[in-house]
Amino acid sequence: PPPCLLPSLTLFLQLIRSPEADTGSMAAAAVRNTYDRSIIVDGEEASLVVFDIWEQDDSQWLQNHCMKMGDAYIIVYSVTDKVSFEKASELRIQLRRARQTEDIPIILVGNKSDLVRSREVSVDEGRACAVVFDCKFIETSAALHHNVKDLFEGIVRQIRLRKDSKEDNARRMANAKRRESISKKAKRFLGRIVAKNNKKMAFKAKSKSCHDLSVL
């Protein structure tokens, strides 16, 4: 039977390209354009409005304006260009400064994964960068449409997960204020100490999940 569709959720995505990223047909539209597409993810429809208006030569004001638009961000670099990868890392830092108080989904995308012989950035390097800068990671080939569908579906899931998480946290905090005891506070304090002593383990665990766009 066809999926039961809930009211469509409109999501605004900002595409930020580092030099030489060449997103090509990633969203099937011309450069410096705004376009939309509707997809069904986990039985629910979502309308994606993608802003592909980023240019390296734009003024600082316009770049900052772009970084303050959207429900999620796609930072794209080329796996065949090391400078492009390094620039993507810088863009992630700029984005954090622009929206530092907000928990916004950010996906680091290594494009041109089909150009194996020209590769300059390994999958492990991309994944490590995503872990360090606290974002998700995926490699795509816009030319072959490889992983493009997974990318957009993953973005929708990331936005939904954060929305659900915020609602759950609000309920959890309200309950905690009523029921939290000294013993619970002590356990939480000890948990923080243990967490600090296991940073390496946490890093490994995060590196395994950074490419999974279905989890936070």
pLDDT at 165: 73
pLDDT at 30: 38
pLDDT at 193: 60
Mean pLDDT of 138-145: 92
pLDDT at 11: 81
Edge to edge, what strands does the sheet with 9-17 contain?
Answer: 33-41, 44-52, 9-17, 72-78, 106-111, 136-139
pLDDT tens for residues 142-173? 899 999 999 999 999 999 998 877 666 566 55
What phi and psi values does residue 12 have, to the nearest 5 degrees?
-105, 120
Q: Is 30 helix (H, G, I), strand (E, B) or coil?
A: coil
> Would you say domain 9-160 falls under CATH 3.40.50.300?
yes
Q: Which residue has the higher pLDDT, 56 or 114?
A: 114
pLDDT at 174: 63
Cα distances (Å, whole numbers) of residue 171 to 22, 176, 185, 215: 43, 9, 18, 20
- pLDDT band for position 51 (50/70/90)? confident
CA-CA distance, 192 to 183, in Å (whole number)? Answer: 14
pLDDT at 7: 47
- pLDDT band for position 111 (50/70/90)? very high
Q: Where are the domains of the chain?
A: 9-160, 181-211
